[in-house]
With several copies, the nearest count.
Chain A
């Protein structure tokens, strides 16, 4: 498969791009931020995502979805990133659906229709400390009657306050540091003993600290196999990581384009500042970095879709490289805008904020670079 978008994908990209530009540009984010909306996204827009067919892209046709892959999801995410669109697409339709695709038919029937219809939102309850360390999960799920009793705390559960269901990673065996003994559960948000405390993030998204106080779930709530949650979780995380990387590429490209536009307009010392060679070289370097990141992300998407055994390495490369490149894009963006870039009134700061949040999501560039070293054997 050539490493570029084929004709269908290019058409999809055009229509997604048009949609986001019209329905959910940066002004949409600003509006929701200024409204102090407690969900952090628009349910109306989420419905529109459904009408466009985005919500169920990754669900199988058998389950009512489109049976598409990570390349297609990445196309949506890049535009989401470019427009800083707030939505539960990454958590629900990319990571969440990827996990549910590994679940039994009953669970799929329970959750996928609502997701596909743009009515259901999922949250991912993975992190237990300030950094992403999935193998270190310690939260307990003890056998209790026919099911399990969950106790513990999760944090950085994006959209955790508005989610209808949380995918919760907990330990049914083993101990922190091991991959065996982890189990994934689908926990409904109104389960007794579950409480979520939502906090606004720097990018205006909402993320919750979630407390599990003897939350009882039946054996049917298990996604995949008991103690073997690592395998489902890995699939879910790879989709989420690649998706976050794609969104970051959109964020970086959006910030870069806005900055290049500014460089062509803004005058100082009687010259358009884009004519200053020092800024030209830095911008050209930034462009190169973004192109490398974009290539790595597309490669990771393709390898994941092909089920290639090299995919995990490339997923980490993509998340790490997108992290480094987009961080550069937003830093250069604010700096090259000068004073105006520091004002809330101007949009470039939003890009810096979204980049910051995405960089932490599913492991930051440091986490993934370290994984690359580990996977490479050193």
Chain B
């Protein structure tokens, strides 16, 4: 038995023993997701047991080094763990922007001291992070941000506001882009970290067209940030942000059709009925669903190829932009068809029978996919410039 085969067998046994049956059920609502943090509480014992088993094993962040709270798995082992968890449909033990976003930046740009402190906190789910990038008015032109940190010797005094800060109202700390030099657009931004309990921080939830959302506006009114709470170099925060944006796009890029959500046509057939030939009894919709399935299955192949190439470092570095573009557009298309198949029932916004309007709210929510984390238009710009090397105007 090869090492990897042995690892697979061990992992399977460990999961069998440690992942409670309740944690193998699909996530039904927000309560089923454990985000950690100072104010976190577990929904039930199973959630707690699964989380704690994973923390002990280093499996909340399995591919991180052991000294930072991970299990130090190789990419190949990491893939096996993912496959085995997928096989039994195990829920992630911990959801966290610390894991997905801040962690990778710390691993690349953090000092050893920062890594030891912050990464371990993240791995153990002690601190819940949120991200402060966008500002009202900055939009796709992220570097136009205005939130300013005035240098006061041993600390900055930060004033300004951020928008689209997910779960800012629930987060313990924020990683945040702050302008610290107004004379240079790119080289005047610092990647700061600070406590959301600091004086002068306030948040306000954003209501979306799909209803309530985890997004907030976040306001900074003379917030004091100690001068050692930044990553990378002062005024070089854009390098960290760019790296993280790429990373974020890698993550987002896997959504939409490639998520194993299966054939929509097959799913809706029982509701819409079949014709005399056994085909879905909506001939035009059927054709659109067939095209969707082709796209979704093809995209799934691309997502697999993308991940495989990523592991082997064979990708063009701008590939995540393409994945993000394609994945989000596909997901929007899928939800347009969910609505078409759902018909008048899918119009109901609040009724109990429709799960409080799950379909229309889900559909509207997808419209943000091609905006958040870089618009489709920005992705197309990046593809044309960085991959196709088309010239500037």
Contact = CB atoms under 8 A, between A and B. Distances in A.
Contacts of B282: 131, 366
A70 interface: no
B164 A369 contact: no
B322 interface: yes
Given A3-B301, A356-B347, A373 B377 contact: no
Q: Residue among A270, A298, A299, A324 with the most chain B CB within 10 A?
A: A299
Q: Residue among A131, A341, A353, A378 with the most chain B CB within 10 A?
A: A378
Interface string B202-232: 0000111111000000000000000000000
B347 A288 contact: no
A88 B192 CA distance: 55
Contacts of A200: 348-351
A299 B84 CA distance: 22
Given A369-B291, A372-B297, A274 B344 contact: no
A373 B298 contact: no
B390 interface: yes
A9 interface: no
Given A260-B388, A296-B297, A296-B301, A4 B312 contact: yes
What's the dominant secondary structure at chain B's contact region?
Answer: helix
B125 to A, nearest CB: 29
B372 interface: yes
A378 B347 contact: no
B301 A342 contact: no
Nearest to B384: A280
Interface stretch (A78-86, A103-111, A313-321): A313-321
B377 A281 contact: yes
Q: Residue among A278, A313, A356 with the most chain B CB within 10 A?
A: A356
Nearest to A361: B344
Contacts of A204: 349
A213 to B, nearest CB: 19
Contacts of A263: 390
B284 A366 contact: yes
What's the dominant secondary structure at chain A's contact region?
Answer: helix
Given A314-B301, A364-B340, A338 B265 contact: no
B329 to A, nearest CB: 9
A192 interface: no
Nearest to B353: A199
Given A4-B312, A283-B384, A378-B279, A339 B134 contact: yes
Nearest to B213: A342
Contacts of A369: 284, 287, 290-291, 293-294
Given A339-B163, A352-B367, A360 B343 contact: yes
A132 to B, nearest CB: 8
Interface residues of B, number: 91
Nearest to B372: A339
Contact of B376 (A131, A335, A343): A335
A334 B348 CA distance: 21
B298 A296 contact: yes
Q: Residue among B163, B297, B357, B392 with the most chain A CB within 10 A?
A: B297
A370 B297 CA distance: 14
Interface residues of A, number: 83
A45 interface: no
Nearest to B262: A376
A271 interface: yes
Given A202-B349, A339-B163, A378-B280, A268 B139 contact: yes
Nearest to A376: B263
Contacts of A376: 263, 265-266, 293
B387 interface: yes
Q: Residue among A270, A339, A345 with the most chain B CB within 10 A?
A: A339
Interface stretch (B21-29, B42-50, B150-158, B303-311): B303-311
Interface in A291-342: 291-293, 295-296, 298-299, 313-314, 316-318, 320-321, 324, 327, 331, 334-335, 338-339, 341-342
A56 interface: no
A204 B209 CA distance: 12
A373 B141 CA distance: 42
B72 to A, nearest CB: 22
B368 interface: yes
Contact of B294 (A276, A317, A342, A343): A317
21 contacts: A131-B343, A155-B344, A202-B347, A202-B349, A203-B347, A278-B377, A280-B388, A281-B381, A284-B381, A295-B301, A295-B302, A299-B305, A317-B294, A317-B297, A335-B370, A339-B139, A366-B282, A366-B340, A369-B284, A372-B297, A376-B265
Given A130-B272, A268-B140, A345-B207, 16 more contacts: A201-B348, A268-B144, A271-B393, A274-B390, A281-B377, A313-B297, A316-B294, A338-B139, A338-B140, A339-B368, A342-B210, A344-B209, A356-B339, A360-B344, A377-B265, A377-B266
Closest A-B pairs by Cβ, 3 of them? A130-B343, A349-B209, A366-B284
